[in-house]
Amino acid sequence: MTREEIFDQIKSKHSFLCIGLDTDPEKIPKHLLSSSDPVFEFNKQIIDATHDLCVAYKINTAFYEANGVMGWESMKKTFDYIPKDIFTIADAKRGDIGNTSAMYARAFFEKEKSGFDFDAITVAPYMGKDSVTPFLQYKNKFVILLALTSNKGSQDFQLSSRLTTSDSGLLYEEVILKSQQWSNADNMMYVIGATHPEMFAHVRALAPDHFFLVPGVGTQGGDLKMIAENGMNKQCGLLANVSRNIIYASMEKDFAEAARGQAHQIQFQMKSFLIN
């Protein structure tokens, strides 16, 4: 999927919502546990209820890898069930020496090899250019670099001025500026946490054309209005991820209906930002 196709979806659905399928078998409604694949059955009903309200689904692979072979099977069935016009993100946070990153890229981008054909993957840039470039070799695929994340520990390194390669600036700024020498907005995005709303205008100035994957809206308390006002560009440029607030809106048999209600509230708010 290209940047223009993502924007077409945003305009069509009046939404820049990304729903995180961070599905924990211990948190899904109990009545699903009797099904042959409870995780997939849960995801299937969430997708059925929300696919017209979001432009992306993000599969956090750790929640599936934790369940071994069965988890990978659930992830594969979930991936295959997502409508093909919706942007798919493998939230795998990979990143290693070049030949290893090439194998990670193959695992998530080459359907004939692994069965997966995600549109994007999250990548940790700590090991530098040669750990990222193998992912950038794929046409119409996106690398989403961790830059300024939503967790409290982001302050340990990302907001440190002692870890930069220049006399000024913070580490996350170095990541954004340096990585733009490797590629451009057509196949690179950045993770920018919603828990740093006051920094979005500055981050947008550093990367005016790139899309940002924005976790931290919802449970972590990110301010969607402030993010939209300071982070949007001419193609919207935002994919705001919400996971727990949507998928765990109810633990009862009405969980899919409740998830749709939460997603619709967020989409309605996003529509007002896009129209304005």
Other residues' Cβ atoms within 10 Å of the Cβ of residue 264: 17
Alpha helices (runs of H) in 146-223, residue ranges in sequence order? 154-157, 171-179, 200-206
Structure tokens at 25: 């078998």
* Candidate list 93, 129, 141, 271, residue with the active-site label: 93
Residues 132, 135, 139, 142, Cα dihedral to 10°: -80
Contact 131, 95 (CB under 8 A): yes
Q: How many helices (H) and strands (E) does the chain have?
A: 13, 8
Structure tokens at 215: 């976790």
Side-chain-facing half-sphere of 274: CA atoms under 13 Å = 22
Q: Which residues contact 38 (CB under 8 A, 6 or more apart)?
A: 25, 28, 32
Structure tokens at 19: 């729903």
Contact 211, 238 (CB under 8 A): yes
Residues 55, 90, 2, 243, Cα dihedral to 10°: 20
Q: Tell me whether residue 93 is one of the annotated catalytic residues.
A: yes
Structure tokens at 187: 């196949």
Interior CA angle at 209 toward 129 and 21, to 5°?
Answer: 75
Which residues are marked as active site? 93
